[in-house]
Structure 1
Amino acid sequence: MNDSFEEMLIHTYEFEKVKDIRPFLCEYWTTSFLLALIYLILIFMGQRYMKDRKRFNLRIPLTIWSFSLAIFSILGAVRTWKYLGALLMLGGLKNSLCHHGFITNPTVRFWSVLFVFSKIVEFGDTAFIILRKQQLLFLHWFHHSTVLVYTSFAYKNGGAGGCWFMTMNYGVHAVMYSYYTVKALGLKPPRILPMIITTLQITQMFVGASVGILSFLWRKDCACHNSEQYLFWTFAMYFAYFALFLNFFYQAYFRTVQTKAKVKAKSQ
């Protein structure tokens, strides 16, 4: 796509016109494996450290943390959703899957770089769980560690659907971290809100897997330039996340309700 068409999709602000550091990120993308390993080691060390200690409250730091990530995610969602929405209306679904604007358009490239780095920052979520001695789910640490590696890998390959993956994640995190902020403040949001957030996460993973399938089917119809290896790992990752979040949804919102109903019936 030419520059004039790109300008039609979204206006680029001056602060978004930064130097392209994608070559640097592409060269050192394998560092993500080391960072993921360090993250897992720190989890083990942190849990051992807190084993015989009292939990920290951390309400104020957690509020600031969640609010900061909520604002960041909202801004990222607004900028990238506007671009993807315009791309869909002007070029259609197939073109949006094969489009490489997230590494060529200055605006989306800016938010793409921040998106990659945010996956390192989000490791801090786990620190709060450990220091507050909350239950650390397999889904949590598996998702955080693998999503950093995949995001670095996908950005390095400039693969099809990259704009979709990033845009959906920004949107879901905007809602999720806003909810965490309200919770950290000690307020009581509607009980159905956590279920809605998990539903959004499941939908995100389903759409992500679908994008991987469509990218494979349409790889010869447009200039996608994707390797089968990239498409395989895209589908595998999103399918794994879909299954894990679906299981979490069942365990958290259905099995718990069934268990409470059985206990109530026995007590009567």
Structure 2
Amino acid sequence: METLLSTIHYWLVDHPAISQYEWKEGETLGASPLFAAVTAISYLSVTLFLHRFAVLPALSSAALRRAAAVHSMILCLLSLSMAVGGTLATLRQMPAIHGWRWVVCFPAAATLPRGPVFFWAHVSYFSKILEFVDTLLILLSGSRSRRLSFLHVFHHGGVVVVCYIALSTAQTLIPVALVTNAAVHVLMYAYYFLSALGHRPRWKKLVTNCQIIQFVFGFMISGLMLYYHLTGSGCSGIWAWTFNIVFVALLLTMFLDFHSSNYSSKKRKDHDN
């Protein structure tokens, strides 16, 4: 058992490519504002075009389910790796002098985007591009007008920019955002995987609730971060956090509206019946 844990720790934290990782603007893959901007704009433009003109043929139900199952399985396992790797990396990289405060507030004058925590944040950044396949699968289905919502497109397009800004500025709260987001995505893609196999779980609402809880928790932990920022020497990437928190606030508003529209109306219908 100890050997297994040591092996996991090596491949998720101690491997040289991970432990010695460093984000270098303009050198590391994807480490430029142009890359992030072009990626987000291309996603939005292509999605709008394909949705508006419906040039893609609809896949058969069987082919769509197989593609969705493979895609969901990959992202579920990748999210699990990010959740575990991000947790172990945080424990590994957290300096003794700052302790758990470092998790909430990177020291403004002494934090560079290097080490295993930022490696996994970079993996998360690219996983958001892989998630564009979610949109492609919707466009290839026969229910594109019903399922392709503004919330879906806004979320997928905007989160790439958010991840880039967080990495490039060594934004404080990255460990918290990384682990909580990856954990929620494990649950979400497990649901999608089982649904694609024809075993739709009964906990669809739980997925939405966990996403909302994630956003609310982000606001709560941000309050603690602001306390550290205002009473100490400052937290790294505070302006990037400001952009991030506005994006999260918009997402939370739309998720709450989605929750109300989908589950409250269903509850009333069930009650009337």
TM-score by length of 2: 0.80
Residues 1-268 of structure 1: pairs in structure 2 closer than 5 A: 12-14=14-16, 16-17=18-19, 19-23=21-25, 24-25=27-28, 28-50=32-54, 54-57=58-61, 58-84=64-90, 93-99=100-106, 103-105=113-115, 107-134=116-143, 135-189=147-201, 191=202, 193-220=203-230, 221-227=232-238, 229-262=239-272, 264=273
Residue 29 of structure 1: how far off its partner (Å): 2.7
Q: Secondary structure at the match of 2:75?
A: helix
13-22 vs 194-203, which moves further: 13-22
- Cα RMSD of the aligned pairs, angstroms, is 2.9
Residue 252 of structure 1: how far off its partner (Å): 1.4
Residue 81 of structure 1: how far off its partner (Å): 2.4
Native 8 Å contact 1:202 1:246 kept in 2: yes
Structure 1 pair 44–52 and aligned structure 2 pair: CA distance change class (3 A): same
**Paired letter, 1:20:** E
**Paired letter, 2:264:** F
147-156 vs 75-84, which moves further: 75-84
Q: Secondary structure at the match of 1:183?
A: helix
Distance 2:34 2:268 in 1: 45
Hey, what does 1:3 align to over in structure 2? none
Distance 2:17 2:172 in 1: 26
Distance 1:52 1:69 in 2: 24
Distance 1:182 1:94 in 2: 39
133-142 vs 42-51, which moves further: 42-51
Distance 2:125 2:233 in 1: 26
Distance 1:102 1:181 in 2: 37
**Paired letter, 2:175:** C
75-84 vs 244-253, which moves further: 75-84
Structure 1 pair 133–33 and aligned structure 2 pair: CA distance change class (3 A): farther
Q: Which runs of 5+ in 2 are unaligned?
A: 1-8
118-127 vs 216-225, which moves further: 216-225
CA-to-partner distance for each residue in 1:173-199, whole Å, 9 max, x for gaps? Answer: 11111111101111132x2x1111111
Distance 2:205 2:136 in 1: 24
**Paired letter, 1:121:** L
Name the % identity: 24
Distance 1:108 1:225 in 2: 15
CA-to-partner distance for each residue in 1:26-59, whole Å, 9 max, x for gaps? Answer: 8513421221111111112222443795454211
Q: What is the aligned residue count?
A: 251
Structure 1 pair 102–74 and aligned structure 2 pair: CA distance change class (3 A): farther
